[in-house]
Structure 1
Amino acid sequence: MSRFTLYLQQLLRSLMLLSVLSATAAQAIERRDLIIDTDPGADDVVALLLALASPEELNVLAITTVAGNVRLDKTSRNARLAREWAGREEVPVYAGAPKPLVRTPIYAENIHGQEGLPGIAVHEPVVGLASGNAVDYLIQTLTKAPPHSITLALLGPETNLALALVQAPEITQGIKEVVVMGGAHFNGGNITPVAEFNMFADPHAAQVVLASGVKLTYVPLDVTHKILTSELRIKQIEALNNQAGKLVGDILNEYVKADMVQYGLPGGPVHDASVIAYLLKPELFSGRQVNLTIDTREGVTFGQTVADWYDTLKHDKNVFWVENGDAQGFFDLLTSRLSRLK
């Protein structure tokens, strides 16, 4: 075999290896089109900052707001504040449903404070809301989207998406995946003994989304109560010495106190930010496909998510239920992305 032939073979192998590496890299940084539906809320704001600081992986098309942790006017203001703090005012914010589908509205001001952002002062953001309603935006955007192309992160009650599905069930064609912060199974609830707040706030909406047949992932209290702050983890965020680090440090130092007392935990969960971390680094999390139902009957089990973990009923597995997460990996990711902001 001539030297020239050997050279050609080596060159071809190198080109093939380069092609494989390029394809792998492209796959690793595949960018998701994302709509974030949220009710800020302390942990929602942390989630928004994490998402908006990650433009390589997450193309945030819009933020849609819903009443939940506080009233709609306050959740809409807080979403715009998060956008302002992230320096991403080009991302539109649409206000959505001011109340649940059926039940009487409830709020979580005992946890998130009267303004929804404990530990910091709020102000009216410079850039206002986008014109139009969040539900109309969801219908128009998902109807026109390429098939199964848009991910939705639902960080609060699921009212906006439920209303959109009732009015235009065909929008499921545009949905790639819906990732929900909500529910509880092994952990127990945080608003009743069995119900998590987002499910309890509008279980009928959650039922509509569950019945739609879209691909669903749930990030429940089962995992968020394992991804806890610590004094060191908050200090690392504060040590970034930027506005984002100070804001998140101040929010978390105040926000986690109630959960630490209520549950006897050594730190506090940052529920909604776990959804964004799951989208950015799913390898930090594990779980399994289960059959999930939601109790909408009045009584002590109202809002309970019943996850058939052991497949006792042999029903269709309609949800990927996240159970475990890498806590240090989560806080390393959060700290790293916050360092990108001003």
Structure 2
Amino acid sequence: MKKILIDCDPGIDDALAITLAHGSSEVEIVGVTTVGGNVSLPKTTANALALREFLGFPEVPVVAGSPGALLRRWIDASAVHGDSGLGEARLPAATLPPANGHAADFIIDTLAAHPGEISLVAVGPLTNVALAVRKEPRVTEWAREFVILGGSFTRGNYSPAAEFNIAADPEAAAIVFSAGWTVTMIGLDVSRTALATGAVVDQMREMGRLGTDLLVPCVEFYGMVTADEGPAIHDACAVAYLIDPTLIQVEPAVVEVETMGRFTSGMTVVNFHLGERTPNALVGTSIDSGRFWELVLAAYARVAATIG
């Protein structure tokens, strides 16, 4: 079983990604670290703690990290995720506190204790990961693999050029992409095609408390659901790749992050034409959405069975 450490900013799609990871028989969550992003750090941390208890993995550490970007003012996406960050979901407040320390140190210590064994997946702004890499560059050697949900080679969603997770802290993203490891970038080009349509949501409705208290209120708040369309469940795509890499086609590329552009700050500049250059990334280009939803819904069904 693959061990994973999730750095996140819950967030509707973060919650759906965490649920997928917990429900999968192929991965084991060894830690959850939080960052300010979709909503403020106190809220992302509270949401991670509530999810941990509601879904049923209270032994897994949750560690809070950076409240905002390295060099910029904090931006949020509460207009998309709701004031709480979890749309209309109303989970019981957590009874257990977060672990002591900072997320960056937890990332370093966890990977150092198990070099080559733990996959790091980041589905929020990359501030915590950048701090970890700066403090201990060997993190890039200790991680089994590093997967992000972020970026795009075609378009943005925060701006015409930039995807939210990268736009929230471009300097951190630039540090992470230039750190000497291979970043598997699952971006909007893949995730925006993973749509929760009416048929998907109907299956979620049949999943007891998990469906009625978390999945459906999140998805329906996230966007309009119709027979053929629905909101894109971005972050779950990165976790799905860790579970089954054959779901997503990836191509080697050189990725650089724009930090200075007036209109392009946060843009991931993706060059698939390598020439003599060594790629620093594997970039997702397409996803088998049918198999993706089979995997996701099967994992959700396993969680639903455990919480009643």
- Class of the TM-score when normalised by the shorter of the 2 chains: over 0.9
Please give the alpha-carbon distance, in whole angstroms, between the structure 1 residues aligned to 2:239 and 2:49: 18
8 Å CA contact 1:175–1:214 kept in 2: the answer is no
**Alignment pair present for 1:276 and 2:232:** no
Please give the alpha-carbon distance, in whole angstroms, between the structure 1 residues aligned to 2:270 and 2:261: 19
Choose between structure 1 and 2 for higher RCO, CA contacts under 8 A separated by at least 6 residues.
2
Q: Partner letter of residue 110 of structure 1?
A: A
Aligned length: 302
Partner of 1:81: 50
Distance 1:86 1:122, change over 3 A: closer
Q: Percent identity of the aligned residues?
A: 35
Q: Partner letter of residue 49 of structure 1?
A: T
**Alignment pair present for 1:49 and 2:19:** yes
5 Å matches for 1:181-192? 181-186=149-154, 188-192=155-159
8 Å CA contact 1:142–1:172 kept in 2: the answer is no
1:56-85 deviation line (CA, Å, top 9, x unaligned) = 321211000000000000000111122112
8 Å CA contact 2:19–2:55 kept in 1: the answer is yes
2:126 to 158, 164, 167: 158
1:21-44 deviation line (CA, Å, top 9, x unaligned) = xxxxxxxxxx21210000000000
Q: Partner letter of residue 44 of structure 1?
A: D
Partner of 1:244: 210
**Alignment pair present for 1:138 and 2:107:** yes
Q: Partner letter of residue 118 of structure 1?
A: G
**Alignment pair present for 1:33 and 2:3:** yes
TM-score, normalised via structure 2 length: 0.94
1:254 to 221, 231, 242: 221
Partner of 2:289: 327
Partner of 1:3: none
Q: Partner letter of residue 120 of structure 2?
A: L
Distance 1:313 1:204, change over 3 A: farther
2:33 to 64, 87, 91: 64
SS in 2 for 1:100: coil
Partner of 2:141: 173
Please give the alpha-carbon distance, in whole angstroms, between the structure 2 residues aligned to 1:306 and 1:298: 12
8 Å CA contact 1:65–1:72 kept in 2: the answer is yes
SS in 2 for 1:323: strand
8 Å CA contact 2:178–2:280 kept in 1: the answer is no
Shift of 1:191: 0.6
SS in 1 for 2:57: coil
2:265 to 302, 312, 318: 302
Partner of 1:28: none
**Structure 2 residues without counterparts, runs of 5 or longer:** none
Please give the alpha-carbon distance, in whole angstroms, between the structure 1 residues aligned to 2:294 and 2:53: 23
8 Å CA contact 1:286–1:324 kept in 2: the answer is yes
Partner of 1:209: 176
1:198-221 deviation line (CA, Å, top 9, x unaligned) = 000011111111111122101100
Which has the higher Rg, Structure 1 or Structure 2?
A: 1
Shift of 1:287: 2.2
Please give the alpha-carbon distance, in whole angstroms, between the structure 1 residues aligned to 2:117 and 2:274: 33
8 Å CA contact 1:176–1:215 kept in 2: the answer is no
1:252-287 deviation line (CA, Å, top 9, x unaligned) = 011123xx89xxx92210000111111112111112
Please give the alpha-carbon distance, in whole angstroms, between the structure 1 residues aligned to 2:114 and 2:144: 10
Cα RMSD of the aligned pairs, angstroms, is 1.6
TM-score, normalised via structure 1 length: 0.85
Please give the alpha-carbon distance, in whole angstroms, between the structure 2 residues aligned to 1:145 and 1:284: 27
Please give the alpha-carbon distance, in whole angstroms, between the structure 2 residues aligned to 1:123 and 1:70: 18
Q: Partner letter of residue 245 of structure 1?
A: G
Shift of 1:149: 2.2
Please give the alpha-carbon distance, in whole angstroms, between the structure 1 residues aligned to 2:211 and 2:299: 10
Please give the alpha-carbon distance, in whole angstroms, between the structure 1 residues aligned to 2:57 and 2:248: 28
**Alignment pair present for 1:111 and 2:80:** yes
**Structure 1 residues without counterparts, runs of 5 or longer:** 1-30
Please give the alpha-carbon distance, in whole angstroms, between the structure 1 residues aligned to 2:122 and 2:242: 12
2:98 to 129, 132, 135: 129
1:91 to 60, 70, 76: 60
5 Å matches for 1:218-233? 218-233=185-200
